[in-house]
């Protein structure tokens, strides 16, 4: 029989439909893979029993010819999505044991469509990080390794568990959230595909907030088409989210394989920043050629405020997070560490419940919002944000999509880049601008570094033009023909 | 009506501004679908949004927007087409999100004004600074346990309108009149039930004192005062406290104070609290709130008549005095009741009966107008009987007492008790003749110039008729016979 | 601008996070580094630019005034660290 864990979602849906195998077999194969790969620490909470039950129900629907759009597809759910009755932690000690009495809209829609959650995927605490190293439940290990170097590498972050699970063939797809690159950067580090849709495309209801004006759920898959299938299920208007946009959800998968002839691909010069890995620059040039060969028209564009995006982000995201995380006070849910009095209890709870990076961001956010600094920092950042947004709007007068690198380096080893928070922040330098502007962005694997690590390129699209992104991604995917497997899986494939 | 306070160094003027929190009358909360009803078992009117649970998001209640605009129009205020919800950040156990969603730099309603009616019959204009929408907090109970506080979130997220006045008031009476008028306006509009006992209207009072004409003094804010009387008491006490401090060589410290209803004093609330730094910023879970001109105009069209307009109309249309009209319009129901009574009848008579007889009886019986045993139609019928001389005013009071006690109709009572006025000239003449025959000595005295005895004869005739004789006819007949 | 230990103490207090004296030292350095990076924004000319709150270009949607939630005290209280008689319980608040 086929190695079920190596199938794409599209192939698995076909196989299930044709009764080549059952959903139970598919789910069991992935549970076995997950159990074998527990060392990667992809899940904070496993929900295998529930998954097996759901697989049975899926099989019954297939037998009756009533299969749902994603029926029986095993996925990993980032542990930032609240799941009713199932522990939801945001990878923080402060939420350990928290079982929400409600379901996030996105996870609910995936369940509605028959997707089966294998577990709650590990992440950086409250989605704050670029290496998955800030999780209170331990870091995630990237299934990829450098050639001849046995050191464990980070999967990227914050959606590290989701990306690693999909790369390691533990899950066929996964959910992530992206605030400044948390889907795109781990997708690049793990050699898979991930898309951050336009802000407002997927509901944030039931998604634990980091920075509300930036957070956006999106899928991971091993192909652009798989991401399209997942996004179709995740996206849509939600009356429970005031920033959700009421626009129809197209059949994204229909864009796969469409010609990019005449598509105008913008190449922003500001992304050629110093310190970027030369292999990545070379890969970028190669990507441009691939799209050109496929019939796209290449346009040089300028996004002049790109170099201020990171700084803008590190004002706005911490400011919002300092307020969003005020609700973790030990009164109604989560950890409480008793003190001498109420204030002492608050301070103990939050000091012990939050990890170092979360505390740091709350403090910087508190500082930039505080009296006397608000205008100089917060309002100035919001004004620059407007300029960054305007850059994109102007660029889109010349082109349909932008092509850039996803991250300035391939995956790094666990423990590297820890000297100073600011060094770590530089990881998101290519992904943050699209986040600030709310534009959809997608990362897909296009090649390997000399030492055998996957490298990703990013496509950035116009608001609500995800279909164009999928079209361009599938052209690039076809040309790149990225078939390499993580070293930990080599030889295991059929 | 500036009331100056005498201090040791001379006269002092009070400068008063009010922030009134009025709960918008809605079924559900400002940003969640939980019930906004008062009371209930603890934590039953609470959705995960109101409990600040992770991942929960606010969605605004359309009715709150509508009613805030309507109230703004009732305050003759500018409605802002774009307003912004911001977060006011601070930690407190009954503030589940760790921030209150409020409007700060861009409120939904801007400047306006209302007229207040003062006890001496004069009218004063008080400026409105702004009105904005915000969430209420939950409730902490501190007296249930020696070391613990209990938290009930039923009120958390209820919709409030904070209505901020300009510091235009100069006496406790003016402040009282302001609250009374504001309450009447929101009740007329149906945008708040004005129930101060249940906390659906609460006042924060800002008080400072100064020498007349001098610069504004430092103000203190007295939080959560929940009756008109307490507002006045709190101002009185606070102003005297401040004068004493200043005259004693001290300075007023800007602070938040609590009013103690048990002894009418105020005390400092946050003695050693960190300087407040609420770190306001626009709530990224919400977009700016837009209200189109068309929406505002549609609301304007559905606005009921407001107290001041009604008062003017009562004076113009019914010829009522300012005093009577002011009392009648104090409650929307009272004005409506009066108009029903006055329909087809003499308006001044109707006004007198509503104001003195009915409201008096209700007050004595500790009943509200809505529970009145006498309906407006019934009272109208009674007045009709007076007008067509079926009964005299005096008999009418008797009839009214029975109506109030039994709920019966005036006509039925008059009929059953045979109270119908005697208007038969022959019958009245008989009684008059009998009375004159019984009092020849009094006739002598009357004719000798003792005019006052006329009243005696009238009284005797009325008494003999059991009060039923038509007083006008009695007068006429007596005059004719005595002067004959 | 640099953030000193005293400022760290002040903002930690506002954020209700306990920090030890040693932490303050380390945090002062880290936060100053972040702030130094942020301050590069001062170089941007933003004269006449309206601050941006949301990238979403639409009107705020409003819900109908209906009771659709609540009545679930057991669910609301289920995750509470301490509760009694339907109330959340906290160390006494001193006013």
Interface check B146 vs A, CB under 8 A: no
| C-alpha to C-alpha distance for B437 and B99, rounded to whole angstroms | 90
Reported as a single tens digit per residue, the pLDDT across A404-420 is 999 999 999 998 876 67
Q: A425 pLDDT band (50/70/90 cuts)?
A: confident
CATH topology of domain A4-261+441-489: Amidase signature (AS) enzymes (3.90.1300)
Query: Which has the higher per-residue pLDDT, A57 or B424?
Result: A57
**pLDDT for position B121:** 80
Residue whose entry in the numeric block shows the structure tokens 């300092």:
A322
Pair C30, C2: CB distance under 8 Å: no
* C72 contacts A387? CB cut-off 8 A: no
Reported as a single tens digit per residue, the pLDDT across B214-249 is 999 999 999 989 999 999 999 999 999 999 999 999
> Which residues does residue A297 pair with via DSSP β-bridges, in sequence order?
A264
- DSSP H helical ranges for B153-290: 172-189, 228-247
- By CA distance, what is A88's nearest residue in C? C79
Chain A positions touching C40 (Cβ under 8 A) are 308, 311
**pLDDT for position A61:** 98
Among residues 312-351 of chain B, which lie with CB inside 8 Å of chain C?
none
| C-alpha to C-alpha distance for A300 and B242, rounded to whole angstroms | 71
The DSSP line for B28-46 is B-SSSSBB--S--STTSS-
* B141 contacts C76? CB cut-off 8 A: no
SS3 B256: strand
| C-alpha to C-alpha distance for A122 and A200, rounded to whole angstroms | 24
The b/e string for A340-360 (b: 16+ C-beta within 10 A; e otherwise) is eebbebbbbbbbbbbbebbbb
Q: Does domain B425-482 have CATH number 1.10.10.410?
A: yes
| C-alpha to C-alpha distance for A136 and B221, rounded to whole angstroms | 45
Q: A405, A452, A445: which is closest to A278 by C-alpha? A: A405
Asked if the model's pLDDT at residue A81 lies above 90, the reply is: yes
- Of A130, A158, A203, A435, which residue is the catalytic one? A158
Reported as a single tens digit per residue, the pLDDT across A11-26 is 999 999 999 999 999 9
**pLDDT for position A46:** 98
Reported as a single tens digit per residue, the pLDDT across C73-88 is 999 999 999 999 999 9
- At A328, give phi and psi (nearest 5°): -90, 85
**pLDDT for position B122:** 86
* A384 contacts C17? CB cut-off 8 A: no
> Which residues does residue B223 pair with via DSSP β-bridges, in sequence order?
B258
Active site residue A435: no
What's the length of chain B? 484
Reported as a single tens digit per residue, the pLDDT across A143-168 is 999 999 999 999 999 999 999 999 99
Q: A238, A241, A198: which is closest to A218 by C-alpha? A: A198
| C-alpha to C-alpha distance for B57 and A206, rounded to whole angstroms | 8
Q: What is the CATH number of the domain that holds C21?
A: 1.10.20
Q: A482, A432, A480: which is closest to A288 by C-alpha? A: A480
Among residues 353-372 of chain B, which lie with CB inside 8 Å of chain C?
none
Q: B424, B419, B359: which is closest to B395 by C-alpha? A: B419
% of chain A exceeding 70 in pLDDT? 98
Q: A157, A179, A155, A153: which is closest to A165 by C-alpha? A: A155
Pair B137, B94: CB distance under 8 Å: yes
**pLDDT for position B381:** 94
Query: Which has the higher per-residue pLDDT, A178 or B462?
Result: A178
**pLDDT for position A2:** 64
What letter does residue A378 receive in the DSSP assignment?
I
| C-alpha to C-alpha distance for A166 and A488, rounded to whole angstroms | 13
Reported as a single tens digit per residue, the pLDDT across B40-49 is 999 999 999 9
Query: Which has the higher per-residue pLDDT, A24 or B275?
Result: A24
A22-41 average pLDDT score: 97
Q: Do the domain assignments include residue C49? A: no
- Tell me, rounded to whole angstroms, the distance of Cα A308 from its chain centroid: 23
Q: Give Cβ neighbours of residue B352 (< 8 Å, ≥ 6 apart).
A: none
Chain B positions touching A326 (Cβ under 8 A) are 89, 91, 97-99
Question: Which member of A101, A342, A382 has the closest CB to residue C53?
Answer: A382
Question: Which member of C50, C75, C79 has the closest CB to residue A386?
Answer: C50
Q: A96, A117, A126: which is closest to A208 by C-alpha? A: A126
**pLDDT for position B471:** 82
Q: Do the domain assignments include residue C65? A: no
- Of A78, A120, A232, A471, which residue is the catalytic one? A78
A316-341 average pLDDT score: 97
How many of the other CB atoms lie within 10 Å of CB of A95? 25
The b/e string for B283-292 (b: 16+ C-beta within 10 A; e otherwise) is bbbbbebebe
Q: Do the domain assignments include residue C9? A: yes
Asked if the model's pLDDT at residue B115 lies above 70, the reply is: yes
- By CA distance, what is B32's nearest residue in A? A240
Active site residue A104: no
Interface check B97 vs A, CB under 8 A: yes
Interface check A24 vs B, CB under 8 A: no
A386-410 average pLDDT score: 97
| Token reading at A315 | 């004002």
Pair C5, C25: CB distance under 8 Å: yes
> Which residues does residue A119 pair with via DSSP β-bridges, in sequence order?
A46, A76
Q: How far is B92 from chain C (nearest CA, A)?
A: 9
Asked if the model's pLDDT at residue A491 lies above 60, the reply is: no
* A326 contacts B97? CB cut-off 8 A: yes
For chain B, what are the domain ranges?
4-299, 305-417, 425-482
Interface check B38 vs C, CB under 8 A: no
Q: Do the domain assignments include residue C26? A: yes
**pLDDT for position B1:** 53
Among residues 386-445 of chain A, which lie with CB inside 8 Å of chain B?
none
Question: Helix (H) and strand (E) counts for chain C?
Answer: 3, 3
| C-alpha to C-alpha distance for B348 and B341, rounded to whole angstroms | 11
CB burial of residue B444 (10 Å; 0-12, 13-18, 19+): exposed
* C77 contacts B43? CB cut-off 8 A: yes
- Which helix (H) or strand (E) segment holds residue B334: the answer is helix B332-342
Q: How far is B152 from chain A (nearest CA, A)?
A: 11
Q: Do the domain assignments include residue C30? A: yes
Chain C positions touching A213 (Cβ under 8 A) are 53-55
Reported as a single tens digit per residue, the pLDDT across B14-35 is 999 999 999 999 999 999 999 9
B52-73 average pLDDT score: 98
On average, the pLDDT of chain A sits at 96
A26-41 average pLDDT score: 97
**pLDDT for position A116:** 98
Q: Do the domain assignments include residue C63? A: no
- By CA distance, what is A105's nearest residue in B? B55
Chain C positions touching A246 (Cβ under 8 A) are 58, 61
This model of the complex carries an ipTM of 0.97
Active site residue A107: no
**pLDDT for position A144:** 97
For chain A, what are the domain ranges?
4-261+441-489
Q: A493 pLDDT band (50/70/90 cuts)?
A: very low
- Of A182, A244, A255, A443, which residue is the catalytic one? A182
Pair A240, B60: CB distance under 8 Å: no
| Residue segments in chain C with a per-residue pLDDT below the cut of 70 | 95
| C-alpha to C-alpha distance for A159 and A293, rounded to whole angstroms | 33
The CA angle B88-B89-B92, to the nearest 5 degrees, is: 115
* C35 contacts A363? CB cut-off 8 A: no
Longest dimension (CA), chain C: 58
Question: Which member of C59, C70, C71 has the closest CB to residue B290?
Answer: C59
Q: B393 pLDDT band (50/70/90 cuts)?
A: confident
Q: How far is B150 from chain C (nearest CA, A)?
A: 5
Q: How far is A338 from chain C (nearest CA, A)?
A: 8
SS3 content of chain B, % helix, strand, coil (to 5): 40, 20, 40
**pLDDT for position B462:** 87
| Token reading at A132 | 């998955």
**pLDDT for position B271:** 47
Dihedral class, residue C89 (left if φ above 0, else alpha if ψ from -120 to 50, else beta): beta
**pLDDT for position B425:** 82
**pLDDT for position B31:** 98
**pLDDT for position B20:** 98
Q: Where are the beta strands (DSSP E) in B10-147?
A: 10-23, 60-61, 82-83, 85-89, 99-103, 112-117, 123-135, 139-141
Domain span including residue C35: 5-42
Q: How far is A207 from chain B (nearest CA, A)?
A: 5
Asked if the model's pLDDT at residue B272 lies above 80, the reply is: no
Asked if the model's pLDDT at residue B127 lies above 60, the reply is: yes
Dihedral class, residue A468 (left if φ above 0, else alpha if ψ from -120 to 50, else beta): alpha
Interface check C61 vs A, CB under 8 A: yes
- Tell me, rounded to whole angstroms, the distance of Cα A491 from its chain centroid: 28
**pLDDT for position A494:** 36
Among residues 142-171 of chain B, which lie with CB inside 8 Å of chain C?
142, 144-153
| C-alpha to C-alpha distance for B286 and A17, rounded to whole angstroms | 43
On average, the pLDDT of chain B sits at 93
Reported as a single tens digit per residue, the pLDDT across B306-337 is 999 999 999 999 999 988 998 999 888 999 99
Question: Which member of A199, A363, A376 has the closest CB to residue C27?
Answer: A363
Question: Which member of A376, A383, A437 has the closest CB to residue C51?
Answer: A383
| C-alpha to C-alpha distance for A212 and A320, rounded to whole angstroms | 7
Do the strands B220-225 and B256-260 form a parallel or antiparallel pair, or are they unpaired? parallel
Chain A positions touching C19 (Cβ under 8 A) are 351
**pLDDT for position A338:** 96
Q: Do the domain assignments include residue C15? A: yes
How many contacts, defined by CB atoms under 8 Å, are there between B and C?
135
Chain A interface test: which of B28, B42, B57, B62 (most A C-beta within 10 Å): B57
Q: A468 pLDDT band (50/70/90 cuts)?
A: very high
> Which residues does residue A181 pair with via DSSP β-bridges, in sequence order?
none
**pLDDT for position B270:** 64
Chain C positions touching B92 (Cβ under 8 A) are 93
Examine residue A293 and say whether the peptide bond preceding it is cis (omega within 30 degrees of 0). Answer: no
Chain B interface test: which of C9, C68, C87, C94 (most B C-beta within 10 Å): C87
B169-182 average pLDDT score: 96
- Tell me, rounded to whole angstroms, the distance of Cα A27 from its chain centroid: 23
């Amino acid at each position: 029989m086929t190695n079920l864990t190596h199938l794409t979602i599209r192939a698995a849906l076909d196989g299930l439909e044709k009764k080549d195998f059952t959903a139970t077999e598919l789910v069991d194969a992935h549970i076995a893979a997950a159990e074998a790969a527990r060392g990667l620490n992809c899940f904070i909470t496993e929900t295998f029993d529930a998954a097996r039950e759901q697989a049975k129900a899926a099989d019954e629907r297939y037998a009756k010819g009533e299969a749902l759009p994603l029926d029986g597809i095993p996925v990993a759910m980032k542990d930032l999505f609240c799941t009713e009755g199932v522990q939801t932690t945001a990878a923080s000690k402060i939420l350990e044991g928290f079982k929400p009495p409600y379901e996030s809209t996105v996870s609910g829609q995936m369940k509605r469509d028959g997707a089966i959650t294998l577990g709650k995927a590990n992440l950086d605490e409250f989605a704050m990080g670029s290496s998955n190293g800030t999780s209170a439940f331990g870091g995630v290990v990237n299934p990829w390794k450098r050639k001849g170097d046995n050191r464990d590498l980070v999967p990227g972050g914050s959606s590290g568990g989701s990306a690693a699970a999909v790369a390691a063939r533990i899950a066929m797809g996964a959910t992530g959230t992206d605030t400044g690159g948390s889907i795109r950067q781990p997708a690049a580090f793990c050699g898979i595909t991930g898309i951050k849709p336009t802000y407002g495309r997927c509901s944030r209801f039931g998604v634990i907030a980091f920075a509300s004006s930036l957070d956006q759920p999106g899928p991971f898959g091993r192909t652009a088409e798989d991401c399209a299938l997942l996004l179709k299920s995740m996206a849509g208007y939600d009356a429970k989210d005031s920033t959700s946009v009421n626009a129809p959800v197209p059949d994204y998968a229909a864009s796969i394989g469409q010609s990019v002839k005449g598509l105008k691909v913008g190449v922003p010069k500001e992304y050629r920043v110093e310190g970027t890995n030369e292999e990545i620059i070379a890969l970028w040039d190669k990507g441009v050629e691939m799209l050109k060969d496929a019939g796209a028209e290449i346009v040089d564009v300028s996004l002049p405020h790109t170099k201020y995006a990171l700084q803008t982000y590190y004002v706005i995201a911490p400011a919002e997070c300092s307020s969003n995380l005020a609700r973790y006070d030990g009164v109604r849910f989560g950890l409480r560490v008793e003190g001498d009095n109420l204030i002492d209890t608050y301070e103990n709870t939050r000091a012990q419940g939050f990890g170092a990076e979360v505390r740091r961001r709350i403090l910087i956010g508190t500082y930039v919002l505080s009296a006397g600094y608000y205008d100089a920092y917060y309002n100035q950042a919001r004004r620059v944000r407007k300029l960054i947004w305007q850059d994109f709007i102007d660029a889109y007068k010349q082109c349909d999509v932008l092509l850039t690198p996803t991250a300035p380096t391939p995956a790094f080893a666990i423990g590297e880049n820890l000297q100073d928070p600011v060094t770590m922040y530089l990881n998101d330098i290519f992904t943050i601008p699209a986040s600030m502007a709310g534009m959809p962005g997608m990362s897909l694997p296009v090649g390997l570094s000399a030492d055998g690590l996957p490298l990703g390129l990013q496509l950035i699209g116009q608001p609500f033009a995800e279909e164009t992104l999928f079209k361009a991604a599938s052209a690039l995917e076809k040309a790149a023909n990225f078939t390499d497997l993580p070293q930990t899986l080599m030889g295991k494939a059929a | 009506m500036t009331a100056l306070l005498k201090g040791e160094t001379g006269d002092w003027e009070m400068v008063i501004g009010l922030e009134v929190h009025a709960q918008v009358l809605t079924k559900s909360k400002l940003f969640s679908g939980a019930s906004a009803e008062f009371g209930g078992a603890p934590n039953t009117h609470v959705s995960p949004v109101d409990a600040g649970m992770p991942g929960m998001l606010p969605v605004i209640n359309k009715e709150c927007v509508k009613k805030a605009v309507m109230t703004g129009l009732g305050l003759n205020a500018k409605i802002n087409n774009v307003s912004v919800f911001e977060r006011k950040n601070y930690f407190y156990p009954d503030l589940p999100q760790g921030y209150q969603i409020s409007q700060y730099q861009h409120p939904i309603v801007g400047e306006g004004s209302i007229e207040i009616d003062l006890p001496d019959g004069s009218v004063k204009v008080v400026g409105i600074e702004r009105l904005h929408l915000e969430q209420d907090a939950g409730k902490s109970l501190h007296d249930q346990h020696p070391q613990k506080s209990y938290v009930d979130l039923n009120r958390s997220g209820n919709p409030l309108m904070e209505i901020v006045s300009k510091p235009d008031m100069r006496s406790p009476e003016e402040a009282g009149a302001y609250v009374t008028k504001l309450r009447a306006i929101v009740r007329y509009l149906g945008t708040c039930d004005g129930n101060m006992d249940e906390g659906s209207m609460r006042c924060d009072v800002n008080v400072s004192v100064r020498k007349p004409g001098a610069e504004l003094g430092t103000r203190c804010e007295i939080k959560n005062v929940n009756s008109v009387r307490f507002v006045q008491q709190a101002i009185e006490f606070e102003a005297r406290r401040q004068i004493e401090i200043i005259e004693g060589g001290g300075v007023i410290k800007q602070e938040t104070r609590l009013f103690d209803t048990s002894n009418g004093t105020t005390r400092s609330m946050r003695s050693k609290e960190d300087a407040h730094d609420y770190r306001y910023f626009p709530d990224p879970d919400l977009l700016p709130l837009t209200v189109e001109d068309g929406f505002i105009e549609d609301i304007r069209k559905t606005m009921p008549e407001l107290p001041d307009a009604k008062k003017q109309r009562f004076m113009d249309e019914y010829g009522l005095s300012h005093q009577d009209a002011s009392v009648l319009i104090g409650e929307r129901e009272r004005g409506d009741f009066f108009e029903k009574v006055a329909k087809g009848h003499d308006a001044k008579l109707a006004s007198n009966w509503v104001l003195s007889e009915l409201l008096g009886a209700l007050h004595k019986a500790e009943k509200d107008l809505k529970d009145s045993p006498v309906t407006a139609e019934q009272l109208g019928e009674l007045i009709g009987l007076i007008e067509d001389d079926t009964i005299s005013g005096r008999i009418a009071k008797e009839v009214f007492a029975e109506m109030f006690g039994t709920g019966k109709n005036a006509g039925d009572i008059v009929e059953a008790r045979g109270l119908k006025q005697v208007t038969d000239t022959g019958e009245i003449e008989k009684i008059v003749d009998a009375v004159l025959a019984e009092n020849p000595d009094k006739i002598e005295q009357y004719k000798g110039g003792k005019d006052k005895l006329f009243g005696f004869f009238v009284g005797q005739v009325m008494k003999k008729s059991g009060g039923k004789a038509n007083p006008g006819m009695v007068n006429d007949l007596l005059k004719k016979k005595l002067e004959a | 601008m640099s953030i000193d230990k005293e400022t760290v103490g002040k903002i930690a207090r506002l954020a209700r996070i306990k920090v030890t004296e040693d932490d303050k030292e380390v945090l002062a350095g880290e936060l100053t580094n972040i702030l130094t990076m942020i301050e590069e924004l001062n170089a941007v000319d933003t004269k006449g630019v309206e601050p941006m709150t949301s990238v979403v270009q639409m009107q705020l949607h409003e819900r109908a005034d209906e009771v659709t939630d609540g009545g679930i005290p057991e669910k609301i209280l289920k995750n509470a660290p301490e509760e009694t008689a339907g109330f959340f319980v906290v160390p006494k608040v001193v006013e």
